[in-house]
Amino acid sequence: MKIAIISDTHDNTSNIQAVRRAILAEGVDAIIHCGDLTDASVLGYFGDFQLYYTFGNCDLSGIVRDELHLQGDRIQAGHELSLNLDGKRVYLTHGHIDGYLEKAIASDEYDYIFHGHTHRFVDELSGKTRIINPGALGGKKVDTRSFAVLDLESGLLTRVCEPFDIRQ
């Protein structure tokens, strides 16, 4: 199973469209979005995919939450999600709520933990847990714009940076 991991899109529709084209070409099975969509109107760009979404600090208006819940079974959303994907234990959160990320890492019960919020790419190990922040697609630019594609079977992670062409 291939998943795209994105975060902090902050309504950047040009980057969202470019990422959509890249993940369609790559044959991604699902999208994990680690928060800060900020505007529900861009949800249509993810309509072909199973979407796992965690609410970010810029999604507090309730409009994003309301729209996500109207999308039906193709979207699972919450402040944190604990999933079993392709036999892997996966946890995701945005990273802005004190204690969520730290508690998940300390639990040592997950194969993968995905988060956003810092707008910085991270790929590191803590015990047996691989912690990944795909970077940001919008908002304040503190690092190169990026997202990631992870093959859960092989563990191969590809960081994809602007201009978002996976086959570079």
In the chain, DSSP assigns E strands to 2-6, 30-33, 50-54, 75-78, 80-85, 88-93, 112-114, 121-126, 129-134, 146-151, 157-161
The per-residue pLDDT for 41 is 78
Place of tokens 């729209």: 67
CATH class for the region spanning 2-161? alpha beta
pLDDT surpassing 90 at residue 59: no
Mean per-residue pLDDT for 48-64? 82
Torsion on CA atoms 50, 21, 36, 6, rounded to nearest 10: 70
The per-residue pLDDT for 77 is 87
The per-residue pLDDT for 69 is 66
126 neighbors 104 (Cβ within 8 angstroms): no
pLDDT in tens, 100-122: 999 999 999 999 999 999 999 99
